[in-house]
Every structure is written in structure tokens, then in C-alpha cells.
Structure 1
Amino acid sequence: MKSKYLLTYTIVLVLFATSCRKFLDQTPVSTPTDATTWQADGDANTGVAACYSLIRAAFNASIGYYAYGDLASGEFSNSDQPDFQKVIDFNLGAGVASTATDNPLLKLRLWTPFFTAVAQSNRAIAFITAMPTAVFNGTSDAEKLARKNKYLGEAYFTRAFCYFTMARIWGDVPLVLENTDATVAQQYARSPQGDVLKQAIVDVNLAIQYLDWKDNGSSDRVVRADKGAAYALLAHIDAWKGDYAGCNTACDAVINSGTYSLTAAASFMDIYKGQSPESIFEIAQNTLSEGYNANVSLTLASQTLTAPYLNGTVPVWHINNSYVTKLYTDTADVRLKKGFISVSSGATSFLECVKYTNIQTVNNNVTLKVALNNIVIFRLADIELLKAEALSSGPSGDYNTALSLINQVRRARNAKALTGLSGTAVIQAVTDERGRELFLEGHRTFDLIRLERITKDQQFDNVTPGEFAAGKTYWPIDPNLFLNNSKITQTPFWIGKVN
């Protein structure tokens, strides 16, 4: 998404902001003109671009992408912000005043932003399907059809991505596939997670059918979905389901495409600036029209960075120093050497993750700094290690190939090869390597959930095995959502535990 879409995004986000307290507010982006707007290629392009914009808004709300995926994983020991401390402690049902609309815990318990994005995907699917092929750009009927299919593929991808995201966070969620104004008033019950993921797989397979691979010369490479992004999403859905045969096949499609390459050790930090040769799918925010004010309290930059990047001497989210020391045992590992610095406050030292330091001052105004790091969702190292998980955790137990994939990633990071491992020890090694490779990239909590399912070993300090089996790692929904929908119920573990 480039700056020419800024006006469209602004309209979309205004609508999102004014409806954030409603359940499944699916008021179209342009209700009075929907029937007359979807007339040309540019209309479809803009409509699909809005899907990505709304996903970005959902992830940026209370730093959701990292709060859900990292904050409770053990990467952080504590937070100076009390509500984020509750996430670290897995105290997800802590009381929040209904009037505290800016409270991060309340926002994290609302799935409304994701359903707003789903609504836009539903809208795009419905209207683009109805558009005549002749109105799309191209010099032949085949080119025009390919153009139409590209937009449809992106819309199916974004819907699948949203539902996969929500399924990992809340488990069972309402499944809404139709595009109609009446859905604002209709009541939806939570659909079983299995049904939600089944639909996500249907959607992502349609995306695979409709989308092509993109070459490195594409200006919108990785910030808009292509066939590689769709296969990567399918691999993650299959891994979450425990379908490691399917996961392995989808990983192979990405790896064997020849489209992506591991970033060299010397350029490791370039991954987080966006659109590196390693990246498969990202949420774009590396331009001024897409970035966010780094000084606002509820941003990743404000919680994790200090001077010279932002004001302050101590990160608000405190990295667990012993956790990092245990995870990174090779001091030559570029992920440790370049990804962290040590800062001090008095006699206390703090580790600071500096992956997301692409901060730009606007018009030389030191009080206005914009964070311009893309949200890196899928990249090649992630998929290679996910394949290693599939091989080591699946019924065949191909531990040698799994270990070779781990060492392939380690070589690219200047880390020594792992040797002498066999059997189930390789499963743990895979998860550890993912922890090193994907620190603060939105994966760790979900990786540990999958690991505990496989090994039955407790992975979270604040979740006992009994609580894990009862579903404590799935988030509660905020009680405010019940006001507009009498059919939904609380997440099972959290019934009677949300104040």
C-alpha cells in the first residue's frame, strides 16, 4: 500500500475507530456508493488494499500482534504498564472498567477490529466476483481475467488470515462469510474452531489457485499476498491443526519455489526494514502514510525502545535477561549480536531488542517520530523451521532432515551447527531455534502452545498443565460484546473469571 491509497485508508480507519465498541460492525466502507463504486480495476484495487489496512489497524491496536504472540511467552519478565503485566501473568480476565475504552487489556479482548477486516474481505469478494472481466486492466481477455483473479485471491487470503489469527487467539469465533448490510443486526454464535480453520483452508486454497508468484522487482512484493504468502499461511494453519503432513507439503511449495533466500548475516537487521529477499508476507508500515507515531504510549516502539531511538532510559517491557541468555548460547550468533543491546539505569542493566528501530523524525521535529518497521508475518527462516517441526513432530519422525534444516538457518546467522541430537530432543531444538530466530516477531506464544500439545510438558510459568488442557491460553472476550449479541458465550476457561 503506497501513499496514493492514503485517503482511502484514512476513510476506512475513521469508520473503524468510530465503531470499535460494536460487535461485528460491518458497515461498508462506502455504504451509499458501494453499488456504484465497484466499476473498474482501480475500484477493486482500492477495495482490496483496504483489507490490508484494516488488518494493520487490528494488529496495531494495543500492540496486538506482539501482545498476543510474544508478551506471555517468557520473552519478557515484567512490564511497567500494569495492564500489559496482566498479559505477562496470563491474568487475561482481570477487571477493566467498561468506560476505559483506551485500556489495552480491554482492546485485546475485543475481536471487533478483525471482524471489521473480515467484513471488507467479504465485501471485496462479493463485488469483485460480480464485476465483468472486461472492466479490469489488460491487453487481452486472459490478462484481464488474471487481474480479476489476483484481487479475488487477495480477498480470500486476507479473510483466511483474519480467521486463522482469531482462531489462535480466541479458539471458537463467529464465522461470517456473507456480505450484506443486515449482518450489522444479525446475531452470530461462535463457530467451532475446527469449522473456522476448515473455512480458512478453503479460502487459502482459492487464494493459491488465483494468485501468482511475485518476483523481487515487484513494488508491492510481500506487502500484498501472492502464491507464496498463501502457501505460508496454509503451512501455519496445518501446523496449528497438527496436520504435519499437510504442513510439510505447504512448506515445500514455498522453499522449492526459489522465490526467497535467507538473508546474509551481515544484512540480518535489514529484514525488519521490510521487503527483504527473505520475506514472504508483511503488513506494510514503512512509509509515512503507513507508519505510526512512535511516541504514543501504546506502540511497540514506546514499550521496547529507549534513547537514542526514543526518550527514556528503561524499556517499559522488560526483556527476561536469563531467558535470552539461555536461548542464545552462541555469542557469535548475529541474532544476539545485532538484535539486542544492553542499557543501564543505575546499577541495573536491561536488554533491549533493537529489531524495530527504523524511527524517522518528521520535518526535524524531535517530538514527532514515526515508527516505520513493517510487521514481518512470514519469512523463509520461519517456514524452514516450521518444516523442521513438521518432520520431527509428525508420525515419521525424520529427525536428521529436521536437524539439517535447523543448521541451515544457523549457518546463515553465524551460529555453530547443532550436533549429537536425535529423537524427541530435535523437537525441542526446533522450538528453541524458532525462539532464537523469531524473537519478538509474534510467533513465540503460539510455538510454545504447539510444543506443549506435542510433548505435554508445561511451557508457561502461569499456566498449569490442567489449565492448559482447559484452554487458558485462549483469550476471553470482553463482556461488552455480550451487549450487542445474545448468542455468543464466553471462552470456556474464562466463564465466571472475567471481571
Structure 2
Amino acid sequence: MKTKHLFIYLISTMMAMSSCKDFLDLEPKSAATDENFWKTQDDAEAAVAGTYALLRAAFNFAGGISFYAYGDLPSDEFSASNTFPFSQVLNIQWNLFVAPSDVDNAMYRLRNYSRFYRVIDQTNRVIEFVQTMDPALFDSPARRDYILGEAYFMRAFTYFYMGRVWGGVPIITEAVPPIYAENHAAATPEEVLAQSSSDLETAKRLLDWRNPVSSQFGVRANKGAAFALEAHMQAWVGNYQEAASAADSLIQSGLYYYVSRDSIVYRNIYQGGSAEGIFEISHNAANEGTRVGIGDYTLVYPYHRLITVPRLTIPPARIRSLFTEPEDKRLKFAFDTTINSTYVICHKYANLTYSDETNNAIPIFKNNIVVFRFSDIKLLRAEALAAIGQTADAEAILNEVRLQANLPAWSGQGSLIKAIFDERARELFLEGHRYYDMIRLYKHFGIFEFPQAKMTPAHFNQGKYYWPFDPTLLNQNPLLRQTPYWATVNL
């Protein structure tokens, strides 16, 4: 099954590194076969760069916002959309009929995991072929190990991410074309997590805290990214002792810290490369950017001069219920509540330029996808500590995050767990976390916050919170199975 085939993944225009000139300028190897490709350290570097490029393509696949469509749209952050089919996406009406030929439809793309398997295939290739390369071809054994560590990290991350989206998916760990995924039955969610955990342990052993090139910190995996991923993986399944330990390892490294929540400094988090950034997908280097990103859906004039009505509606009532303290710097510097009474603008992603000064100008967004950042891991540790009964330490972290936003200490009224998740909702608004946070909040703590129109507890327990497989995948691979909920719904 280990078929030799063309190495087709373009690298030069899709690189996922920010301010990393040497790494970005590696010669693309778009037509090289395996037999003549794996000859130098630069070849191995280019191959591992392709994993980041392919992950970025997966996160941008559906209208430029797949990452946010999975992590934010189905949550309580949005109330409506005027753009098809995102109204159905945010209302968890994921059974929308899509003609098999309509491959550009965002719903088809969100239900289809093929882009993620391109990442998997590329990581498998790096793992297999770099290990067969002569060690003398590398600057040092440590450099070779680091490249392998990145590949193991990226495979661990991608399987974990797919596991949160679909639950059980096929596990492929050999360097074969992604098309062969159709010949594999879906593993259970537990097996997917076990594979991810195994890869992550290898990655932690091979990676270092410091990146080989300092300018690649945050946008290329290191040990900090690995511990952040471990903290999320363990929290996802309720292993909170392990989650707390992983988060603490990252925090104790001393390499990450809060940045000011004041105005421009705060917004720099989303441009990328801030002191809070642990793992980011870059759109912000000189040869990068995206024509359609999350800002294209959430901004209006004057933040986006070409749009007058947001394509995704953030309801004022939700913002009022979430930000109950007007002195909160995040409310002041990340939201505009004055433009219109029917919607609120979140302008975290307002870093954009235009191709020219005409009315037909093309917007170019230069915002990184911030996957993990420091305050996320801080609050995840607080969640874990509260879950295992270390409430004083959990409350201390909660108050630390609140202090950054110019808020007083938590009042102590009500549930500490609920207070931590509410703080995550404020701190990480529109950063790809809220939907998964709501799942954990119910699965592990019994607090159900999904709007009833989107999902009921009964439907949740039947697996509605997982995405269904697109019918085209089921036709290709009859070994796949929908969750009990989606198995009863016509797609």
C-alpha cells in the first residue's frame, strides 16, 4: 500500500511561518517524486513546512473560516447570518442537502474531512522518510529530531482536532495518498485520542522549548505547543489532573506571559507573534494574507470599508449578559457596541489592508489564527484545578486573568466552574474555543448552555454535537458510521 506518488503539495505560497524569511524562501518541490526528493535537510524542512501550509488550508477551507465555523459559529456567540449556508451552520442544521457536485458549498466542505487528511498524509511522509535519511545530511541530530517532533506534533494535533469535530475517524499512520482513507473503518473517539496522545508523547520528547529559528516561535511547533495541546486533550476527556499538570509545565517555562489589554497592544495578539501566542497559523508574513477571513464576516465600516452589514450577527443581548462590568478592557477594546442597535462588532480581526483605493479594492486580512495562547492555558488550568477540588488555586488564576482586564476579584457568588467558563467566554470570544468549552461544560459539569433551538440535552447525548460525515464520504467508505443523532436525520 506504500505507493510511490507525486509530491504535489505546493509550499511556496502557502507557508505557515510568520517573519521567517529563510524558512519561507525554501524552494518549492511541487513535482518531485519520493525517489529524488528526500536528499537534503532543506528537503525535510520544506516537507514539514507543508504540514503547516496544509493545516492552514484546512482551517480556511469553507469560505475562509472553517476554524471559526467549527469552534464559534454553533455556540452562543452568534444569533444569525445573512450568508448561505452559515445560518444553517450556526443553528446546527448540519443536515442541509448539498448536491454531490456542489463541492464549493461551505456545508459540504465542513462535513468533509479530506483537507485534514492531507495534513495527516504529509506528516506520515515526513515521519517515514526523514527517519530513512542519512543523519549526516542534517546540521545535527537535534535538528533532525526537531523536524520529526514537528511532524508528530502536527499529526497529534490534527487527529485531536478531527476527533473533536467528528468523534471517530479513520486512523492512518503510513505514508499513503489520502484517497486510501476510504478503505479504513472509523476508529472510536477513544482510539483517535489514544493515537493523538501517543504521537504527542513522541513530539514532547523530540521538541525543545526554543525553536531552531527564534523568529519561528509560536508559528512553528515547540514543546510549549505540545504541552498546550496535551492540556486541551486531557480536559476534553475529563482527565483533569493530567490537564492541570500539562498546563503547569507550560506556565512554568516562563516563555509566555500576558500582554496589556489596552487598545492596540491587545489587538496585536491577533496579528500574531505576541508574547501570549503559543501556537498560531500564520497569515501575517510579507507573502501571506487571506482575501476572505473571519474579519470579512464580522466587520463593517469603518473597520471594513466595503461592508455595511455583518455577515454574522453578534447579538447585543449576548454581549450585555457576558460583559456585565463596563470597566472590562476587553469590552472596550475588542467590541464596538455603538454602530448599530441590532448587532455588536467584534473587531479583533480588523488588521487588513486593501489592494488599492477604489471601490473594487480587494481586502487582505493579516490576522493569524491563534490556536493556543497563554490566557487560554491559564484558564484551562483553573478549570482543571477546580474540577479536582483545588478551588483556592483555581480562583487565584481566575482573578489573575480578571485583573488583566481591569476587573475586581471574582465575587465568590455562584459556581466557580461557571465563573471560569464565563471568563473563558469573555477572554476567548471568537477565537475558536467557545463551542468546545460548551461541550466540556455539559459533559463534565452538567451545565447546559446551548440555546434550545440549536440543541437539546437529549440530542447532545445522541451525539448531535459532533459533525456528521458528508454523504459523499459515506458513499466512498461504507465503513463510516454517523452518530446516533445524525443517523436518524436525512442529509
TM-score after normalising by structure 2: 0.90
> Among residues 266, 269, 282, which one is paired with 1:268 in the alignment?
266
AA paired with 2:272? G
- Whether the aligned pair in 2 keeps the contact of 1:74 and 1:320 (CA below 8 Å) is no
AA paired with 2:354? T
- Whether the aligned pair in 1 keeps the contact of 2:11 and 2:30 (CA below 8 Å) is no
> Match of 2:484?
492
> Match of 1:361?
354
Change in Cα spacing, 1:181 to 1:371, as seen in structure 2 (3 Å) is closer
- Whether the aligned pair in 2 keeps the contact of 1:216 and 1:277 (CA below 8 Å) is no
Distance 2:408 2:421 in 1: 17
Change in Cα spacing, 1:182 to 1:254, as seen in structure 2 (3 Å) is closer
- Whether the aligned pair in 2 keeps the contact of 1:96 and 1:105 (CA below 8 Å) is yes
> Among residues 377, 393, 411, which one is paired with 1:419 in the alignment?
411
Please list the CA deviations of residues 114-154 of structure 1 after superposition, one character each: whole Å capped at 9, or x if unmatched: 011111011111111111111012xxxxxx10000110010
> Match of 1:323?
318
- Whether the aligned pair in 1 keeps the contact of 2:121 and 2:176 (CA below 8 Å) is no
Deviation for aligned residue 1:362: 3.0
> Match of 2:11?
8
RMSD: 2.1
> Match of 1:473?
465
Please list the CA deviations of residues 233-252 of structure 1 after superposition, one character each: whole Å capped at 9, or x if unmatched: 01100000110011011001
What is the SS of the residue equivalent to 1:330?
coil
- Residues 1:172 and 2:172 aligned together: no
> Match of 2:4?
none
Paired residues for 1:328-343 under 5 Å: 328-342=323-337
> Match of 2:375?
381
- Percent identity of the aligned residues? 40
Distance 1:322 1:177 in 2: 47
Deviation for aligned residue 1:343: 5.3
Deviation for aligned residue 1:10: 4.4
Distance 1:420 1:426 in 2: 7
- Whether the aligned pair in 2 keeps the contact of 1:330 and 1:416 (CA below 8 Å) is no
- Whether the aligned pair in 1 keeps the contact of 2:77 and 2:314 (CA below 8 Å) is yes
Deviation for aligned residue 1:216: 12
AA paired with 1:368? I
> Match of 2:215?
219
Deviation for aligned residue 1:111: 0.6
Distance 1:341 1:92 in 2: 30
AA paired with 2:47? G
> Match of 2:3?
none
Paired residues for 1:181-330 under 5 Å: 181=177, 184=180, 187-214=183-210, 218-266=214-262, 267-294=265-292, 299-308=293-302, 309-330=304-325
Please list the CA deviations of residues 433-476 of structure 1 after superposition, one character each: whole Å capped at 9, or x if unmatched: 00000000000000010000123232211211111111110000
- Whether the aligned pair in 1 keeps the contact of 2:283 and 2:289 (CA below 8 Å) is yes
What is the SS of the residue equivalent to 1:473?
coil
Please list the CA deviations of residues 249-297 of structure 1 after superposition, one character each: whole Å capped at 9, or x if unmatched: 1001000000001111222111111010111000011125331114xxx
- Whether the aligned pair in 2 keeps the contact of 1:55 and 1:117 (CA below 8 Å) is yes
What is the SS of the residue equivalent to 1:293?
coil
Aligned length, in residue pairs: 463
Distance 1:479 1:273 in 2: 37
Deviation for aligned residue 1:36: 1.5
- Whether the aligned pair in 1 keeps the contact of 2:352 and 2:365 (CA below 8 Å) is yes
Deviation for aligned residue 1:349: 3.8
> Match of 1:151?
147
Q: Which runs of 5+ in 2 are unaligned?
A: 1-8, 17-28
> Among residues 112, 125, 128, which one is paired with 1:126 in the alignment?
128
TM-score after normalising by structure 1: 0.89
Deviation for aligned residue 1:47: 0.3
AA paired with 1:124? V
- Whether the aligned pair in 2 keeps the contact of 1:260 and 1:279 (CA below 8 Å) is yes
- Whether the aligned pair in 2 keeps the contact of 1:278 and 1:380 (CA below 8 Å) is yes
> Among residues 70, 86, 90, which one is paired with 1:84 in the alignment?
86
AA paired with 2:460? F
